Amino acid sequence: MSNKEIPYKIYLEESEMPKAWYNLRADMKNKPAPLLDPQTHQPMKAEALSGVFCEELIKQELDDTTPYIEIPEAIRSFYKMYRPSPLVRAYCLEEKLQTPAKIYYKFEGNNTSGSHKLNSAIAQAYYAKEQGLKGVTTETGAGQWGTALSMACSYFGLDCRVHMVKVSYEQKPFRREVMRTYGASVTPSPSMDTEVGRKILAEHPGTTGSLGCAISEAVEEATKLDGYRYVLGSVLNQVMLHQSVIGLETKTALDKYGIKPDIIIGCAGGGSNLGGLIAPFMGEKIRSEADYRIIAVEPSSCPSFTRGKYVYDYCDTGMVCPLSKMYTLGSGFIPSASHAGGLRYHGMNSTLSQLYADGLMEAISVAQTEVFEAAELFARVEGILPAPESSHAIRIAINEAMKCKETGEEKTIVFGLTGTGYFDMYAYEKFHNGQMDNYVPTDDEIELALKKLPNVEE
């Protein structure tokens, strides 16, 4: 089929939307390492997790064997309000770059929360409601997850309590107000409301907070409040499972036109969008049915894959969550204050970590000014104002397309455009004013944060 016949946007019919999520772990030969109890270092059992997490979500978290898990009807109806999301052929970007590469992006920013996070938020809220809970607690960094969860909770009539990293709480007052519009309560983290918050504030007065710290506060609150559980917007395998809807739709859309991607690119914070986008493709790769180059892109100021260690670590600063084996910079690692591009989590999803350790995917880190240059170029030619996080993927998609220009290869590149950047104008402003620096942590800084790893025998 010639290029001309491929539309700018490939949409799917409602009937073509996935009816089940795909659990990539079922097809992996080397399974991700199990979560461990932070005290005993023994693998976590479902009962031990049930005080913190919702029951059905725990089942999904621990399920390494069921390849397809049906999407409940109520979630499928909610998905229909904003999905299927378009797979866009970036004709304008190709033209601008004068590249023979064919570039596609899967755009997940077409909902009020502005990102892919709604795909998992609605699933998690659904299972909390089914369990008869009153509400959920969570953390949010940049604010997209908190927004998505507040939308999902208001849909199902659940209370939503969000601990928002203090620096974002102050820099992004509008994000906070969107959450409150949907009925969530929002507290800056660390706060004096939790034991762990008080402890962190005593040790680090004036700290602007971190995701790891906000997680500890949200977990503490969930265990202390009757009828509440804690939910998380990234990192966990259940989140990656829900996000497989991105990859499944992408695959169906590409298959409709007989398109085989050569390179699949996604930004990596905790790994959920990347894991979701690549899931069906990685499945084919593992089953030796197809081969793809798969690239994770992370900020050079928070380089978990490219400079972290593959070990068991705490998922949160307060060390209350289960231990996860993952590429990590240490749970005390906090990216430099000058870092504005999101993706600031110290660790990585355990499934992606195992795939990376097995050489099934690549990772690359990029400096933030390069990311914003790509963001601006993309906005000007494709129209969409991208989130800084998503722009990490744009950067590498452009770099790969430019390599094709040199070699004349007509590669097909697919990348995940996870969201829009309307609430990130403070970061764009810094970029426009030439005030953005590319601070990269030194080996000593990373080594120092890695000194506090838990002592797990393997």
Query: What distance in Å separates the CA atoms of residue 384 and residue 392, rounded to the nearest whole number?
Result: 15
- Closest to 76 (Cα-Cα) out of 124, 128, 18: 18
Q: From the list 194, 234, 317, 354, which residue makes contact with ligand PLP (rule: CB under 6 A)?
A: 234
What does the angle CA 54 – CA 173 – CA 337 come to, to the nearest 5 degrees?
Answer: 85
**Would you count residue 387 as binding ligand PLP (CB under 6 A)?**
yes
Q: From the list 69, 211, 254, 268, which residue makes contact with ligand PLP (rule: CB under 6 A)?
A: 268
**Would you count residue 117 as binding ligand PLP (CB under 6 A)?**
yes
Instruction: Give the type of residue at 21.
Output: W
Name the burial class of residue 136, with classes exposed (0-12), middle (13-18) and buried (19+) by CB atoms within 10 angstroms of its CB: buried
Query: What distance in Å separates the CA atoms of residue 405 and residue 85, rounded to the nearest whole number?
Result: 29
Q: From the list 253, 343, 361, 374, which residue makes contact with ligand PLP (rule: CB under 6 A)?
A: 343
- Write down the residue that tokens 């289960």 correspond to: 322
- Rg (C-alpha) for the chain, rounded Å, is 21
CB of 17 to ligand PLP, least distance (A): 20
Stated as kind and residue range, the H or E segment containing 223 is: helix 211-224
Ranges within 76-115 binding ligand PLP (CB under 6 A): 115
Query: What distance in Å separates the CA atoms of residue 27 and residue 426, rounded to the nearest whole number?
Result: 42
Nearer to ligand PLP, 343 or 398 (CB): 343
Nearer to ligand PLP, 6 or 387 (CB): 387
Nearer to ligand PLP, 261 or 271 (CB): 271
Q: From the list 94, 139, 382, 389, which residue makes contact with ligand PLP (rule: CB under 6 A)?
A: 389
Q: From the list 6, 90, 263, 267, which residue makes contact with ligand PLP (rule: CB under 6 A)?
A: 267
- Closest to 169 (Cα-Cα) out of 212, 140, 195: 140
CB of 16 to ligand PLP, least distance (A): 24
Pairing mode, strands 20-22 and 68-70: antiparallel
Nearer to ligand PLP, 194 or 372 (CB): 372
The DSSP result for 241-289, as a single string, is HHHHHHHHHHHHHHHHTT---SEEEEE-SSSHHHHHHHHHHHHHHHTTS
Ranges within 272-301 binding ligand PLP (CB under 6 A): 272-274
CB of 391 to ligand PLP, least distance (A): 9
**Would you count residue 149 as binding ligand PLP (CB under 6 A)?**
no
Q: From the list 119, 144, 238, 365, which residue makes contact with ligand PLP (rule: CB under 6 A)?
A: 144
311 near 328, Cβ under 8 Å?
yes
Nearer to ligand PLP, 101 or 268 (CB): 268
**Would you count residue 347 as binding ligand PLP (CB under 6 A)?**
no
Region of 56-64, 218-226, 264-272, 431-439 interacting with ligand PLP (CB under 6 A):
264-272
Token digits for 206? 């004036």
Token digits for 148? 């998505």
Token digits for 228? 């509440």
| Total residues binding ligand PLP (CB under 6 A) | 18
Residue 270 sits at φ, ψ, to 5 deg, of -95, -10
Q: x-or-dash pattern for ligand PLP, window 4-43, by CB under 6 A?
A: ----------------------------------------
Nearer to ligand PLP, 194 or 237 (CB): 237
**Would you count residue 229 as binding ligand PLP (CB under 6 A)?**
no
Token digits for 204? 């680090």
CB of 342 to ligand PLP, least distance (A): 6
CB of 417 to ligand PLP, least distance (A): 9
Q: Which residues form the interface with ligand PLP (CB under 6 A)?
A: 115, 117, 144, 234, 267-274, 343, 387, 389-390, 418-419
